Every structure is written in structure tokens, then in C-alpha cells.
């Protein structure tokens, strides 16, 4: 169940967030180009019945959409690479190459090649190097490929500390640096709460998450202002990138990763709290309407499920499905609903972690109700959990600003 305790209103101090704490993270000061690793492939075991015989054709039933509970969940981490402060990773549709954003501004490819012992992963030279600043919580914060794999979008804070969203053309696995086109920019009044996550939704549109502008307690009152791009998740039409984005979801403080369940289309948002509470909110998909339009997560009226500034519930308010108090956690890092074949014991469960508590945890929600939650008893080495990533086949990864990139495997 949701963990809460009564508290008095705290002073409006900015919570220490992932990239602020990780300003000096990354123990790989040299060039990592050419680094290789061979990781074993994951063996999946069907849980739907015995295998078919060679002489009798049988049809196995479809696996359930989610497990009944998390009692059978067990994971381990397999390191696939170590880079300099990785912040985000994406797979290009139609390719086996993974692309990693390093906080300092570079994008590196991880090329995967089948070998007898499993899969060889080689770290390539940077394909892009953008001008960014890394003070506070700034840097290269997100990347996403278009659904057809022909464009790469980068979200970062430029040398002035402002949010910049650019697009590059992609030819095969080659990103074309000279094709850069600015898509969107906005000022950032403080060095924290920049947001910066960028991703394509199941509707084929591009989404960019922006924090409330920083400071403590939303001093500029952006999060409840539907006309302000800060404190919101924006939606872009990729067919018309010259058009202004739609302010899609408001009332967020610092949406540090959001994702869509690849089976149901539900939108999961992890929002970093102020001084006391971290939260996870689920906005369910409904018919042909993509989830999230007009949704209001309540900040700064609420911090998680607790009153912060006070006042009535705003129009469109969506309460968190789960929240937790600080200590040892301090800053949530959102992940994905597990749908890959390998993690059968976690099918339908949402994975997340925390920058200050690197344990990977899982939530199980059914019909809009939290039915189970637990720690998976595996910590990300080095802590400083910056991001999760999802491969083309649903496999999940977790990234640490300390350098490591890990595949989440069944134990």
C-alpha cells in the first residue's frame, strides 16, 4: 500500500535531484571507444505449458497480461557497458544498435553482434557531440528515435542553461551531424527541475517532459498554469515540427521519466517530489484518445498524495497510484512496465528505482488499483540510477551515472 505519514508544511527547499547529486559522477574519464564485452543471451522458459512434440501440432495459450502477484519475481543485472555518466538509452527501430546519451553531450552507439558465447557489445565513437552545460541538473538528458528510425531527437540544456530539443536525420545506423534542426527551446530560470525526458508515444507523437523551472515549491507558479510550458509534458506532431507543441499534461514538478505500457497504452509518470514524497501516477488509455490530455498531477497543491500548498483538487486531477516517503529514497527514477518474454515473473509489473536508494522495485496494478509492490532485492552498482531503457523486444535496462549500463535478467 501507499506509505504515508502526517507532516507539517516544510520550508520550500529544493530537493537534491539526480543530476545535481551526480555532477561529478562517471569514473570513465578517458575514451571508451572500442570497449567490448560479451554477455550471455537470456534463456527464456515458457510458462504456458509443455512444449509441443515433433509429431503433434499444439497451440499454446497466450500468456496472461500480468502475473497475479510479485512473489515469483527474481532478477539479476548483467553489465553490458560502462560509459561516462550515461543518462538515457534508446534502440533504433529496425536495428540491433543501442544509442546512449552521455551527460556531457555525446551520443555513443553500442553495436550488438551474435557470437558463440552470447552477444558481443562494442562501444563506438561518438556519433554526436552537442554543446551543453552540466552544472546543477543540466546536460544531455534524453534521446528518442522516430518510429520509422529515420530521425533522432535530442533533449539537452544548452551552454546558456536553457532547454533545447533538436532533430537529426538518420541514414541506416548513421546519424548525420550536419542535418541538425532545432525543434523547440525554452528558458530555464534555475539549474534544477529541468526535466528533459523525450519519448515517442504509441500514438506516434513526440512527448517532452519539463520540470517546473526549479527553485523550491514552484516559486514561479508554472505547474498549474496551462499556458506555461514549464511544469508540464508537451506533445509534438512529428508531421509538423514547426508548429507549437500542445501542453498535454500539467501539474508536474520534475517528471523524471515516463513511459507507456506497450500492451495497454497506459501512461506511467514518475514525478520527483519536494522534501518528503516521491510519486508514481498512471493515466489509463481510453478508446482512441491518447492518455494524458488535460491531466493534472496536482503539484504544488499536492506533493504526492499529501497537501503541499493546499487548496481544492484542480480540474483534471489524477492522484498517484503509489507514493513513498524520503529516507532512504530521495528522488524517483521511473521505468517501464515489463512485457519482455525473459522476465516472465514480472509480466505486467512496473519497474522503478531511486537515485538515493538504488534498489530496483516493482509495482503491480490491476484495474486501476495497486495490488502488490515490493523491492526486488537487487541494487544497481554505484547507485545514482539515472534512467531505465526498453529494447525493441521489451527487454529492460537500467543506467547509472556512475557509468554502468545493465540488462535486467531473470535470476
Has residue 54 been placed in a domain?
no
Write down the pTM of the prediction: 0.90
Whether 22 maps to a domain, the answer reads no
What pLDDT, in 10s, does the model give residues 332-365? 999 999 999 999 999 999 999 999 999 999 999 9
213 within domain boundaries: yes
Residue 166 lies in a domain: yes
Q: How confident is the model at residue 24 (pLDDT cuts 50, 70, 90)?
A: very low
- Give the Cα separation of 217 and 162 in Å (integer): 20
Q: How many CB atoms lie within 10 A of CB 366?
A: 12
d(CA 207, CA 230): 13
46: pLDDT confidence band, cut at 50, 70 and 90? very low
φ and ψ at 128, to 5 degrees? -145, 150
Q: Is residue 309 part of a domain?
A: yes
Helix (H) or strand (E) holding 212: none
Q: Does pLDDT of 61 surpass 50?
A: yes
For residue 1, is it within any domain? no
Give the separation between CA 8 and CA 10, rounded to whole angstroms: 6
Are 26 and 84 spatial neighbours (Cβ–Cβ below 8 Å)?
yes
Residue 138 forms part of a structural domain: yes
Grid cell for residue 67: 502475473
Identify the weakest region by mean pLDDT among 19-28, 124-133, 341-350, 380-389: 19-28
Which residues are CB-neighbours of 74 under 8 A, at least 6 positions away? Answer: 345, 376, 410, 411
Q: What is the pLDDT of residue 15?
A: 39
> Which domain range does residue 368 map to?
29-40+68-410
Q: Residue 148 sits in a domain of what CATH number?
A: 2.120.10.30
- In 304-410 the beta strands, taken as DSSP E runs, fall at 306-307, 322-325, 332-333, 350-354, 359-366, 369-379, 385-390, 396-400, 404-410
Is 364 within a domain?
A: yes
Total tally of structural domains belonging to the chain: 1
Residue in the structure block whose three cell numbers are 531527437: 153
Amino acid at each position: 500500500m501507499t506509505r504515508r505519514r502526517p507532516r507539517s508544511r516544510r520550508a520550500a527547499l529544493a530537493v537534491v535531484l539526480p543530476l545535481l547529486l551526480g555532477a561529478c559522477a562517471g569514473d570513465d574519464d578517458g575514451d571508451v571507444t572500442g570497449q567490448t564485452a560479451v554477455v550471455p543471451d537470456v534463456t527464456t522458459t515458457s510458462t504456458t505449458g509443455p512444449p509441443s512434440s515433433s509429431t503433434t501440432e499444439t497451440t499454446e495459450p497466450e500468456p496472461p497480461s500480468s502475473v497475479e502477484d510479485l512473489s515469483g519475481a527474481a532478477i539479476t543485472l548483467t553489465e553490458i557497458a560502462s560509459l561516462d555518466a550515461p543518462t538515457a538509452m534508446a534502440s533504433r527501430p529496425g536495428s540491433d544498435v543501442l544509442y546512449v546519451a552521455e551527460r556531457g553531450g555525446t551520443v555513443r552507439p553500442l553495436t550488438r553482434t551474435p557470437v558463440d558465447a552470447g552477444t558481443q557489445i562494442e562501444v563506438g565513437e561518438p556519433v554526436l557531440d552537442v554543446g551543453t552545460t552540466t552544472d546543477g541538473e543540466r546536460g544531455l538528458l534524453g534521446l528518442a528515435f522516430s518510429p520509422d528510425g529515420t530521425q533522432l531527437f535530442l533533449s539537452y540544456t544548452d551552454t546558456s542553461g536553457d532547454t533545447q530539443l533538436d532533430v537529426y536525420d538518420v541514414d541506416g545506423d548513421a546519424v548525420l551531424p550536419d542535418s541538425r534542426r532545432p525543434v523547440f527551446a525554452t528558458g530555464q530560470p534555475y539549474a534544477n527541475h529541468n526535466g528533459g525526458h523525450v519519448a515517442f508515444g504509441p500514438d506516434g507523437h513526440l512527448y517532452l517532459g519539463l520540470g517546473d523551472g526549479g527553485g523550491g515549491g514552484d516559486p514561479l507558479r508554472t505547474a498549474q498554469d496551462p499556458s506555461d510550458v514549464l511544469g508540464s509534458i508537451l506533445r509534438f506532431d512529428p508531421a509538423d515540427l514547426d508548429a507549437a507543441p500542445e501542453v498535454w499534461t500539467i501539474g508536474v514538478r520534475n517528471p523524471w521519466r515516463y513511459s507507456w505500457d506497450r500492451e495497454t497504452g497506459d501512461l506511467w509518470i514518475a514525478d520527483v517530489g519536494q522534501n518528503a514524497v516521491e510519486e508514481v501516477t498512471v493515466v489509463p488509455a481510453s478508446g482512441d484518445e491518447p492518455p494524458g490530455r488535460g491531466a493534472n498531477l496536482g503539484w504544488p497543491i499536492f506533493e504526492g498524495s499529501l497537501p503541499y500548498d493546499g487548496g481544492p483538487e484542480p480540474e483534471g486531477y489524477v492522484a498517484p497510484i503509489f507514493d513513498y516517503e524520503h529516507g532512504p529514497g530521495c528522488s524517483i527514477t521511473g521505468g517501464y512496465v515489463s512485457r519482455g518474454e525473459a522476465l516472465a515473473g514480472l509480466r505486467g509489473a512496473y519497474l522503478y528505482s531511486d537515485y538515493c536508494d538504488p534498489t530496483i522495485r516493482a509495482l503491480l496494478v490491476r484495474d486501476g488499483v495497486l495490488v502488490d509492490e515490493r523491492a526486488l532485492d537487487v541494487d544497481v552498482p554505484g547507485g545514482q540510477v539515472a534512467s531505465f531503457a526498453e529494447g525493441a523486444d521489451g527487454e529492460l535496462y537500467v543506467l547509472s551515472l556512475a557509468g554502468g549500463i545493465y540488462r535486467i535478467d531473470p535470476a
